[in-house]
Structure 1
Amino acid sequence: MAYPIDRRSLMAGAALGSITLLSTEAEAQPHAAAATPEIYELRTYHLVNGPMKERLDAYLKDAFLPAARRAGCGPVGAFTVAIGAGAPSVVVLVPYPSIADYAALSGKLSADPSYARAAAPFLESKPEGPPYVSLDVKLMRAFPHFPRLELPGVAGSAKSRIFELRTYYSPSEKAGTTKIGMFDTGGEVDIFRRTGLTPVFFAKDLTGPRLPSLTYLLTFPDLATRERSWSRFGADPDWRRLSETPGLTNSEIITGIDNQILSPTPYSQI
């Protein structure tokens, strides 16, 4: 059961000076709530050091990413974990227009002769030469007011650009929906943008080990810029008012946060 965030209460708080909502700015963003939110598939291929990554990279670069684009999905991101739990691993982000497109991808790949040829070494891997140890898959739905993935700008070279993948866990569906509301209509995304936290996507997790949860991806030119941006965000007066509002504090609606710093592979489309 979903518990929508009480936007009227938030606005009343703003009138009382306890919280600043940036609703007008949020509605002025290029994405409209009327657009159908994308579905995201997040694949994490767990590896061991050695030739395994080379085999997986060949499959993703030459077979999967091109075929996914031909099937109408993407752009597809492919990243390695630079800092955080899970290394060595490769994280693949696949955007789909709808859940039906996600369900249809397997059939489209099977019917794609170019994919079959390029993917043959991967699909026919032997136990003595596997391309990965295990695979985790998570499905997510984009937020209503952030329904489309935003490609990063050109600041910083592709070699130095980094991404930050964050997942927030909540103690209940009501708390999780409240946190989503802080981002989606409560002004937190606008504070992110203003303080240099550049978003790529925001999404509610549909599957995962610790639901309810939400996941988002940020991008920065480098680690130094990331540190400065998070410092500005933490000191921002609008964020401090929002995060200290009763009912919206981390201690009330967040039980934990997972965080990874990712580096894009040379063949990543994001």
Structure 2
Amino acid sequence: MSHPIDRRSMIAGAASGSVAIATGAAHAQPGSKAEARQIYELRTYRLINGPMRARLDGYLRDAFIPAARRAGCGPIGVFTVAIGEGSPSVHVLVPHPTIADFASLPEKLASDPAYAKAGEPFLGASPRDPSYASLDVKLMRAFPRFSQIEVPVGRGRIFELRTYFSHNDRAGATKIGMFDTGGEIEIFRRNGLTPVFFAQDLTGHRLPSLTYLLTFPDHATRERSWGAFGADPAWRKLIATPGLTDPEITTGIDNQILTPAAYSQI
């Protein structure tokens, strides 16, 4: 199993410049009130087929999510990797108001007796019967103009988690700008690519990178929406602009199709 999350080291790295952080004042979506940019914690629990999943579900549903909400986090999403690298694994998306809230969450959980009681089967597992195989944590910061989680309406949905990698900070900032101020998010929306969040990765193994989450009612709608996006004249013009082409600013993309847990708040 992996070592405990070193939250303060992650924050120190961000502050010192060892990870890139996009600058600029927070901006809201058009027509909405300006809001501070959320910090997203993406936990990935890697499992082994068997009883691990049931124990993790019980912990997240009955202990972690209620306690994290009491601590001011949320809404919290829980997703199974249905298609893509990493199965069996579970993503837990935890929005925090600030990076300080991310750092203080373990202390708040440790002082919450209801959390300790509900989480004991998971938290008290022995090395011979661990609760998960490993845990990875990625820290992200919401885009300036997409500063808050957008919770989709309706159940029975699928989600798509995508990460774009760049070869240097300038290229990474350019790709963020294409989405945040260059019109790409608007092209997404009008073609049925409904976003949940857009964020710059503050930690990770292939920085600089950005990550976003989309949602669709079903797989057929996803296929149609991506097809419409690819044929959109505005997108074709944008992607052909010198300095904005994929070979100039992206080095690769990771992609996963996710299904939400029944108790997921996203």
Compute the TM-score of the two structures, normalised by the length of structure 1: 0.87
Rounded to whole Å, the distance in 2 between the matches of 1:43 and 1:188 is 27
For the 8 Å contact 2:28–2:146, the answer to whether it is kept is: no
Which residue in the other structure is 2:150 paired with?
A: 150
> Secondary structure of the residue that 1:82 maps to in structure 2?
strand
> Secondary structure of the residue that 1:189 maps to in structure 2?
helix
For the 8 Å contact 2:22–2:200, the answer to whether it is kept is: no
Rounded to whole Å, the distance in 2 between the matches of 1:203 and 1:249 is 20
Structure 1 residues 44, 210: closer, same or farther in 2, change over 3 A?
A: same
> Secondary structure of the residue that 1:95 maps to in structure 2?
strand
Rounded to whole Å, the distance in 2 between the matches of 1:240 and 1:222 is 26
For the 8 Å contact 1:31–1:146, the answer to whether it is kept is: no
Which residue in the other structure is 2:226 paired with?
A: 230
For the 8 Å contact 2:145–2:180, the answer to whether it is kept is: yes
For the 8 Å contact 1:3–1:177, the answer to whether it is kept is: no
* Distance apart, 1:129 and its partner CA: 1.7
Q: Structure 1 counterpart of 2:101, which letter?
A: D
Which residue in the other structure is 2:83 paired with?
A: 83
**1:1-270 alignment runs, 5 A limit:** 29-31=30-32, 34-154=34-154, 158=155, 160-270=156-266
Q: Structure 2 counterpart of 1:153, which letter?
A: V
Rounded to whole Å, the distance in 2 between the matches of 1:144 and 1:62 is 33
Gaps of 5+ in 1: 6-25
Deviations 1:63-88 (A, max 9, x none): 00111101100000001000000000
Compute the TM-score of the two structures, normalised by the length of structure 2: 0.89
Rounded to whole Å, the distance in 2 between the matches of 1:73 and 1:129 is 30
Rounded to whole Å, the distance in 1 between the matches of 2:81 and 2:152 is 18
For the 8 Å contact 1:165–1:216, the answer to whether it is kept is: yes
Rounded to whole Å, the distance in 2 between the matches of 1:102 and 1:4 is 18
Rounded to whole Å, the distance in 2 between the matches of 1:30 and 1:74 is 23
For the 8 Å contact 1:164–1:218, the answer to whether it is kept is: yes
* Distance apart, 1:130 and its partner CA: 1.2
* Distance apart, 1:162 and its partner CA: 0.3
For the 8 Å contact 1:39–1:139, the answer to whether it is kept is: yes
Structure 1 residues 241, 70: closer, same or farther in 2, change over 3 A?
A: same
For the 8 Å contact 2:21–2:202, the answer to whether it is kept is: no
Rounded to whole Å, the distance in 2 between the matches of 1:211 and 1:205 is 7
Radius of gyration: which is bigger?
Answer: 1
Rounded to whole Å, the distance in 1 between the matches of 2:74 and 2:246 is 33
Gaps of 5+ in 2: 1-16
Rounded to whole Å, the distance in 2 between the matches of 1:93 and 1:30 is 26
Structure 1 residues 267, 116: closer, same or farther in 2, change over 3 A?
A: same
Rounded to whole Å, the distance in 2 between the matches of 1:27 and 1:164 is 23
Name the count of aligned residue pairs: 245
